[in-house]
Amino acid sequence: MTTRIHTYLWPATRHILLLAGALVMLTPFIWMLSTASKPQTEIFSSELHLIPHHFALWDNLRTAFAKANLWRYLLNGLIVTISIFGLQVLVALPAAYALAKLRFLGRDVLFALVVFCILIPPQATAIPVFLLLHKLGVLDTYAALVLPFTISVFGIFLMRQFFKTVPDDLIDAARMDGISEFGIVWRVMLPTAIPAVTAFGIFSVVAHWNDYFWPLIVLNSEHLQTPPLAVAQFRNNEAGTNYGPLMAAAIVIIAPLVVAFLFAQRRFIEGITLTGIK
Amino acid sequence: MAEIEVRGLRKAFDGTEVLKGVDLTIENGEFISLVGPSGCGKSTLLRVIAGLEPQSSGEIRIDGISADGVRSSARNLAMVFQSYALYPHLSVFDNIAVPLRMKRLSALARLPILGRLMPGRQRTERGIRAEVERVADQLEISPLLKRKPGQLSGGQRQRVAVGRAIVRQPRAFLFDEPLSNLDAKLRVHMRAEIAQLHRQLKTTFIYVTHDQAEAMTMSGRIAVMIGGELIQVGTPSAIYEDPRDIRVAEFIGTPKINAFPGRIRGDGRLEVLGHVLHAATPAPAGECRVCVRPERIDLTGSGVFSGTVVHLENLGSEAFVHVASEGMSAPVVARVNDPSLLPTIGASVGYGFVPDAVRAFDGDGKRIATEIASRVERPRGMAVV
Ligand SMILES: Nc1ncnc2c1ncn2[C@@H]1O[C@H](COP(=O)(O)OP(=O)(O)OP(=O)(O)O)[C@@H](O)[C@H]1O
Ligand SMILES: [Mg+2]
């Protein structure tokens, strides 16, 4: 009898604990959804309630889109994150291939430097990079948002670790077939590394879509602002104390990430595995 | 079609010498096997010939022209790898088509979408399709052309890898243990197919294996490599019957050749375990090794040696008897052609061998000539010792 209770007790406790954890993580998100769906009067009412009495999400969205150029900010976010990710891949893949598969003097030292660079927080280099961009005269442009992130040591590290697992024979076969070294990177390594590239893409896009620090430093013009900056601006200038439209705007800005993640999750799983090689 | 010459080839990795001066001439259209124990440098030699690895010194000549500094793709050799090395993201068709596309399409025409617009691309692509289909037909993999390598069995992947090699019509084929990932039955089958392929194509084949059965059954010549050196090159029967070095004798043949500790007496006669053999050698007196193949050990005759049966291996069509004898560290293995005549374990048996079966090696493992000693000393002429 006791063992019977025991077998139910532990899974139950486990699930309750996990649910509690999930609730803590989700509460701000749920609250955002709730607030975005409430009319102004309910937001400031003294009693707390989750479900709005009067559903006002569409009104709030309409107000948000009317008050600020949300499409423009979303487009900015898209341009910046896609450019950063594209350039990162362009740099990281050849570098990772060289570090993983080519034999040359100083390779291990270079790789140690790459690992070391991962430890440096971006804030530490912010001022020199800012000055550099100033000298180049590209402050307050897309270039200022993109250029500092084109070399991702994390990306190089991640791809290098993945490329290590690709058998040497595959590369030798490609060489015998007449594919050049760069050709090997793009036509052989990239397709086999799709799961790793996807994983890296998720990290990169999420980090730069949500980045608040760097755009705040290098941007002045309103028309270049990225989504997080725009939402913040929203609060200060446009919406004032009107939290309904502010939260609606926040939803709009999060939505692309959520959709992209759901899409990428499938890619993760179905990604090309290396079964064909062995 | 190519004649490949390897001259004084040396290769060192980080100071350790892996190839220690290899000389080998591979005739046009020949099927030569490169055998040797694991780690002796077979793959390294093949990779140097293929141009995937630069040599430390020495030279490779293909059809009389030095291949130094020629890129591996430009040497026009095809290689089949042990792991098949198929492109996992490409279909079987595309896998086989890759070498042709690389050769016949410009970099621009190979671009994913833009390439379709290039003039002449359609026509080249049609030619490639015809050739891939012909090769697929030849290898009986036509129904698989649309599949990805991950959806194929080991034997099918093997065929695709061979297809990718044949389609470019190379001057020579390099195989690096292509069958070692297959199960025993399929291996025997593919062995026959590759031999058949060689008869059909009449191209030079260099076949690396550590499986001596493959080498013995398929090739015209065998090159035995041990410790980075070619010890002996010759026809399978010459390698088997007339090994120049004890390491060759021990490597070729299963079960392993029996090696008796021996001595060369002052009068040139060989002596094994205290018995004087009817074999003599011109070599100077001293220690030697006397080797006899299992099928030449005679358990039925009135042999002078004796021992105890310690193990039996009955394979159905033949059987091997392991006999422990005094003075021998390893049991002597004898083949019995009729398994119904097997002794029992623990029985004491006598055995012997004819002087003709003796292969003697000196202290350094080099072969020493032997001849049957004059019969005068033994009136009844029975050759069994
Ligand atoms: N890239 C390399 N760097 C350092 N050492 C290497 C390299 N490639 C091979 N070696 C060494 O060279 C020696 C010979 O290797 P090789 O692969 O030619 O052996 P093999 O005869 O093909 O053996 P196997 O039958 O196991 O395939 C081995 O001791 C191996 O450790
Ligand atoms: Mg090998």
Mutation site for B-interface testing, chosen from A101, A103, A177 by largest number of B Cβ within 10 Å: A177
Return the pLDDT at A36.
87
Helix intervals (H) in chain A:
2-36, 40-43, 57-67, 70-101, 107-118, 126-136, 142-146, 153-164, 168-176, 181-183, 190-192, 194-209, 213-218, 227-233, 243-270
Return the pLDDT at A276.
38
Quick one: B256-375 is in which CATH superfamily? Answer: Nucleic acid-binding proteins (2.40.50.140)
Please state which CATH number belongs to domain B4-241. Answer: 3.40.50.300
DSSP state of A123: G
- Using a cut of 0.90, tell me whether the model's pTM lies above it: no
Return the pLDDT at B334.
94
Residue B377: both structure tokens together: 């000393």
Q: At what angle do helices A70-101 and A194-209 cross, to 10 degrees?
A: 140
Whether the CB-CB separation of B262 and B288 falls below 8 Å is answered with yes
DSSP state of A272: P
Rounded Cα–Cα distance for residues B142 and B144 (Å):
5
Closest Cα in chain B to A189: B87
Q: Of B16, B44, B53, B175, which is best to mutate to test ligand 1, by the most ligand atoms within 8 angstroms of its C-beta?
A: B44
Closest approach of chain A CAs to the CA of B235, in angstroms?
30
Fold classified for A72-277: MetI-like fold (1.10.3720)
The residues on B that touch A, with CB distances below 8 Å, are: 47, 50, 52, 71-74, 77-79, 81-90, 98-99, 102-103, 148-150, 152, 157, 164
| 3-state DSSP assignment of residue A39 | coil
Tell me, in angstroms, the distance from the centre of ligand 1 to residue B228's CA: 10
Rounded Cα–Cα distance for residues B312 and A200 (Å):
60
Contacts of A169 in chain B (CB under 8 A): 81-85
The answer to whether A278 contacts chain B (CB < 8 Å) is yes
Spans of chain B, pLDDT less than 50: 376-385
Phi and psi, residue B63, nearest 5°:
55, 40
| CB nearest A178 (choices: B79, B99, B152) | B99
Return the pLDDT at B264.
92
Asked whether the beta carbons of residue A275 and residue B149 sit closer than 8 angstroms, the reply is yes
The angle subtended at Cα B258 by Cα B253 and Cα B262, nearest 5°, is 140
Sheet arrangement for strand B221-226: B77-80, B172-176, B204-209, B31-35, B221-226, B229-234
CA B312 to chain CA mean position, Å: 28
Return the pLDDT at B381.
40
Residue B340: both structure tokens together: 């119904």
Q: Of B9, B10, B13, which is best to mutate to test ligand 1, by the most ligand atoms within 8 angstroms of its C-beta?
A: B13
Tell me, in angstroms, the distance from the centre of ligand 2 to residue A189's CA: 23
Whether the CB-CB separation of B73 and B158 falls below 8 Å is answered with no
Asked whether the beta carbons of residue A276 and residue B85 sit closer than 8 angstroms, the reply is no
In order of A67, B195, B217, B253, B304, the CA distances from B237 in angstroms are: 92, 17, 10, 11, 29
Identify the residue whose tokens are 């499409």. A71
Q: At what angle do helices A70-101 and A153-164 cross, to 10 degrees?
A: 50
Q: Where are the domains of chain A?
A: 2-65, 72-277
Written as one letter, the residue type at B125 is: E
Strand partners, B13: B16
| 3-state DSSP assignment of residue A188 | helix
| CB nearest B52 (choices: A172, A179, A194) | A172
Q: Please, which residues have CB within 8 angstroms of residue A222's CB and are 6 or more apart in sequence?
A: A233
Return the pLDDT at B132.
96
Return the pLDDT at B383.
44
Asked whether the beta carbons of residue B85 and residue A178 sit closer than 8 angstroms, the reply is no
Q: At what angle do helices B154-166 and B92-104 cross, to 10 degrees?
A: 20
Closest Cα in chain A to B162: A173
Rounded Cα–Cα distance for residues B25 and B206 (Å):
11
For chain A, the maximum distance between any two Cα atoms, rounded to a whole number of angstroms, is 77
Contacts of B152 in chain A (CB under 8 A): 276
The answer to whether A167 contacts chain B (CB < 8 Å) is yes
Tell me, in angstroms, the distance from the centre of ligand 2 to residue B177's CA: 7
| CB nearest A273 (choices: B50, B82, B150) | B150
**Residue B366 buriedness (CB in 10 A; 0-12 / 13-18 / 19+):** exposed
Residues with CB under 6 A from ligand 1: B 13, 18, 36, 38-44, 210
Return the pLDDT at B380.
41
Contacts of A188 in chain B (CB under 8 A): 87
Spans of chain A, pLDDT less than 70: 1-5, 234-241, 266-278
Return the pLDDT at B384.
45
The answer to whether A275 contacts chain B (CB < 8 Å) is yes
> According to CATH, where is 2.40.50.140 located in chain B?
256-375
Q: Among B289, B338, B333, which Cα is nearest to B318's? A: B338
Return the pLDDT at B303.
79
Return the pLDDT at A235.
67
> According to CATH, where is 3.40.50.300 located in chain B?
4-241
Segment A40-81, tens digit of pLDDT: 778 777 777 788 888 888 888 888 888 778 899 999 999 999
Tell me, in angstroms, the distance from the centre of ligand 2 to residue B45's CA: 9
The answer to whether A190 contacts chain B (CB < 8 Å) is no
| 3-state DSSP assignment of residue A79 | helix
